[in-house]
Amino acid sequence: MSARQASAPVIDRVLPIAATVVMLAAIWCVFVYVPNERLQGAPQRIFYFHVSSAWAAFLGFFVAAGASGLFLWRGRVEDDRMAMAAVEVGMLFCTMVLVTGPIWARPIWGAWWTWDPRLTMTVILWTIYAVYLVLRSSARDDPQIARYAAVLAVIGVLDVPLIQVSVRLWRGMHPSVLSAPANTGGIEDPRMVAGLVVTTIAFMLLFVWLLRLCYESLRLRDELHRLEDRARELIR
């Protein structure tokens, strides 16, 4: 082990291993351990990745909203950096939701995409934080734009509870696997519950690992920008 690896925080050495091990266990659970759902059959197995991705995305956007609120209150660059890192990771998982959703929908609905309320609200959520990233990418020397982006991050997270209740509010056709009544399609078998728990833990560990990597990357980027600005001043 190099001196650099030895000096790294324990969590940075444990997280990659833990995330990899639990993710492999999740893959085994989904494709080997859990049984087929009675009504939807084998295609329902993508549910474990789809739902876990959604929860990781929601977590990322809630973290971003909280960090953005702190940035607006305290003005600390660390809070702004955490918000941006959380949005980047949240967008990764939100994109996974929008990719796995049509794959699940095709054999169940007979179409890759329908403008179901929950799907539509998820696209809106993705668009809100895509705009956030565009704003942040242009805000290096403009703290006012950074504050606008922070406000957007705080407001955008309000779409998350709307996604959760959209099926009931607007009578969507999105499958309600978690809340489905008995014998109407859902995770009734204990093995399904175990598979969902393991997959969720795997995605949460992956989320934390990616968040730390992204935050550190943004910190190093900011440090590089400071060095570049100092070098320009010296040249002048």
SS3 readout for 158-190: CHHHHHHHHHHHCCCCCCCCCCCCCCCCCCCCH
> Which amino acid, residue 24?
L
- Average pLDDT over all residues of the chain: 84
Specify the higher pLDDT residue, 236 or 186: 236
> Is the pLDDT reported for residue 76 higher than 80?
yes
Cβ neighbours for 201, distance < 8 A, ≥ 6 positions apart: 22, 26
Q: pLDDT tens digits for 124-138?
A: 999 999 999 998 887
Q: How confident is the model at residue 12 (pLDDT cuts 50, 70, 90)?
A: confident
Q: How far apart are CA 205 and CA 20, in angstroms?
A: 9
By 3-state DSSP, what share of the chain in percent is helix, strand and coil, each rounded to 5? 80, 0, 20
> Is the pLDDT reported for residue 121 higher than 50?
yes
> Is the pLDDT reported for residue 38 higher than 80?
no
- Say which range, 39-48, 110-119, 187-196, 206-215, has the weakest mean pLDDT: 110-119
